[in-house]
Amino acid sequence: MQPEDFQRNFPPRQNGRVYLLYEIRRRRRAIQRNWYSNNREQHAEINFLENHFNNRPRTPCSITWFISSSPCGNCCRRILEFLRSHPNVTLDIYAAKLFRHFDIRNRRGLRSLMMNGVAIRIMNLEDYRYCWRNFVAHQPGEDGYWPQNVTLYFILNSIELLHIFLDLPPFLAN
């Protein structure tokens, strides 16, 4: 992906287009990396599920998503359907920020993913660096990128995610 797209859409304090960077690890094979984004018809998560795994063999693999915003409630439901139909697939999600964390449907969806074995975390500084090095087509000498105040937003979003998992009222103000 282009550096401007990453810098514009992955900061934890602002909204933009949703990008999903993914890695797929299969036994004894190299890591496959690429990305999807949302479009007018569907969210980035559904683009991945329908376009990448449509008609693919059900071989065991581990998928990691680095996503600019956590999945909405409807996408969480579709992710669970996918995982139930692909029992040999595991999924880890690293989100730069939480999507509409006050919406009860989104909170229930994230909690349901967690309760069904999906690891969900908020991206920290090392995750941003990893994405920059492995997914962004940066120029030589532009080896590092991190958004401003990432530690503060990491802490606040992590506390809110914990509240979601524990079914507690929202922590962050709207």
Q: Which residues are catalytic?
A: 45
Buried b / exposed e across 80-103, counting CB within 10 Å, b at 16+?
A: bebbeebeebbbebbbbbbbebee
- Helices 150-165/104-115 angle, 10° precision: 80
Residue 71 makes CB contacts below 8 A (sequence gap 6+) with 43, 45, 79, 93, 99, 106, 109, 110, 113
Distance between CA atoms of residues 68 and 96, nearest Å: 5
The answer to whether the CB of 8 falls within 8 A of the CB of 18 is no
Longest Cα pair distance anywhere in the chain, in angstroms? 46
Task: Give the residue among 163, 128, 174, 173 at the shortest CA–CA distance from 148.
Answer: 128
CB-based contact 27:60 (threshold 8 Å): yes
- 149: three-class secondary structure by DSSP: coil
